């Protein structure tokens, strides 16, 4: 009795806690790529719910139709041959389900890995997002500014985040704007997104990376292009430039508040892929160069 009472208390406590949880933001998308992912998740849930419904209906039917009944002790059920039709059916149906979900997943992945639909005629804003310990650095190479633990973006414009890490692998995720993607050291990954409306959205690291994981959050704020340009101008006018010494201090620190700088660390600490590309060009010999590249080099001489 005590055991049952304890289990009931645990269940009631879980229900009370879940009732106070915030709504799942992944189902409240504010951008085209996030909406594509949300629709795919909902479609997958509906598909799985339908499968469960069919299974439970069949289970109830079998339990009712073939339930145990009173029979003589010497009763022997009649011999039944196997049904090839049934065997083919319950083999083909799972194949169809898996194939359907696979096609949906591949199409969704292809869509979100490209520039958001409807923004093909607009130049994307490139932002380098790097992680260190339990914080995020956002570098704007075109604007020449950098922020820590917050990022501002204009609405109705495609955004291209270039991700990498100064430490362990992290995962960049803004649920209402896009899916997650890993940020790794010595490697650059890209995630595309766009915001359809002005607002403030929570971003975080979704990959466990140590004791400060729970606090590794940032705010992604979308604003009009006019407000974004004004914010950039204010940062460049009022904030100090980011020096290499200051950046090294930031890398060593575990947690810091929001900060802004009127220059980026890309000037003295370039992103991994770009740095590797420069190195490869410097070390490339004529044997690795294409005929067109060699002709261009000779014409330059």
User: Which of 44-48, 115-119, 244-248 is predicted with the least confidence, judged by mean pLDDT?
Assistant: 115-119
- At 206, which helix (H) or strand (E)? none
Listed in sequence order, the residues at least 6 apart from 16 whose beta carbon sits closer than 8 Å to its beta carbon are none
Task: Give the per-residue pLDDT at 192.
Answer: 97
Task: Give the per-residue pLDDT at 9.
Answer: 58
Asked if residues 163 and 175 have their Cβ atoms less than 8 Å apart, the reply is: no
Task: Collapse the DSSP code of 263 into the 3-class scheme (helix H, G, I; strand E, B; otherwise coil) and give the result.
Answer: coil
- At 279, which helix (H) or strand (E)? helix 272-283
Domain-embedded: residue 44: no
Q: What is the mean pLDDT of residues 123-145?
A: 97
Structural domain that includes position 187: 125-276
Domain-embedded: residue 137: yes
Domain-embedded: residue 8: no
Domain-embedded: residue 167: yes
Task: Give the per-residue pLDDT at 66.
Answer: 81
C-alpha span between 173 and 218 (Å, rounded): 10
Asked if residues 152 and 143 have their Cβ atoms less than 8 Å apart, the reply is: no
Q: What is the mean pLDDT of residues 5-9?
A: 57
Which CATH number covers residue 144?
2.60.40.420
Task: Give the per-residue pLDDT at 6.
Answer: 59
Segment 70-97, tens digit of pLDDT: 778 788 878 878 889 989 999 999 999 9
Banded model confidence at residue 299, pLDDT cuts 50, 70, 90:
very low
Domain-embedded: residue 77: no
Task: Give the per-residue pLDDT at 152.
Answer: 98
Task: Give the per-residue pLDDT at 8.
Answer: 58
Domain-embedded: residue 199: yes
Binning the chain into helix, strand and coil, the percentages to the nearest 5 are 45, 20, 35
Q: How many CB atoms lie within 10 A of CB 177?
A: 29
Domain-embedded: residue 17: no
Task: Collapse the DSSP code of 64 into the 3-class scheme (helix H, G, I; strand E, B; otherwise coil) and give the result.
Answer: helix
Domain tally for the chain? Answer: 1
User: What average pLDDT does the structure give for the chain?
Assistant: 86
Task: Collapse the DSSP code of 203 into the 3-class scheme (helix H, G, I; strand E, B; otherwise coil) and give the result.
Answer: strand
Domain-embedded: residue 65: no
Q: In this predicted model, which residue has the larger pLDDT, 172 or 11?
A: 172
């Amino acid at each position: 009795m005590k055991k049952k009472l304890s289990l009931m208390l645990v269940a009631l406590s879980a229900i009370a806690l879940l009732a106070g949880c915030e709504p799942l933001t992944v189902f409240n998308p504010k951008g085209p790529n996030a909406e594509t992912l949300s629709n795919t998740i909902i479609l997958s849930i509906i598909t799985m719910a339908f499968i469960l419904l069919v299974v439970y209906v069949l289970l109830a039917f079998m339990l009712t139709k073939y339930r145990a009944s009173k029979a003589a002790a010497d009763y022997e059920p009649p011999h039944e041959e196997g049904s090839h039709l049934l065997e083919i059916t319950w083999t083909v149906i799972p194949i169809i389900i898996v194939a359907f979900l696979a096609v949906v997943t591949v199409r969704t992945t292809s869509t979100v890995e490209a520039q958001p639909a409807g923004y093909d005629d607009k130049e994307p804003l490139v932002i380098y997002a790097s992680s260190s310990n339990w914080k995020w650095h956002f570098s704007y190479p075109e604007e020449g500014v950098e922020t820590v633990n917050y990022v501002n973006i204009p609405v109705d414009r495609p955004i291209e985040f270039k991700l990498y890490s100064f430490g362990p692998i992290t995962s960049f995720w803004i649920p209402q704007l896009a899916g997650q993607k890993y940020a790794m050291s010595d490697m650059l990954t890209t995630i595309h997104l766009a915001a359809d409306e002005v607002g403030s959205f929570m971003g975080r690291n979704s990959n466990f990376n140590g004791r400060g994981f729970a606090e590794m959050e940032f705010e992604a704020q979308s604003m009009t292009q006019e407000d974004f340009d004004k914010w950039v101008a204010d940062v460049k006018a009022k904030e100090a430039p980011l020096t290499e010494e200051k950046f090294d201090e930031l890398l060593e620190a575990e947690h810091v508040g929001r900060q802004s700088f009127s220059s980026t660390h890309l000037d003295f600490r370039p992103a991994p892929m770009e740095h590797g590309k420069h190195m490869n060009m410097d070390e490339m010999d004529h044997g690795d160069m294409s005929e067109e590249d060699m002709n261009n080099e000779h014409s330059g001489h």
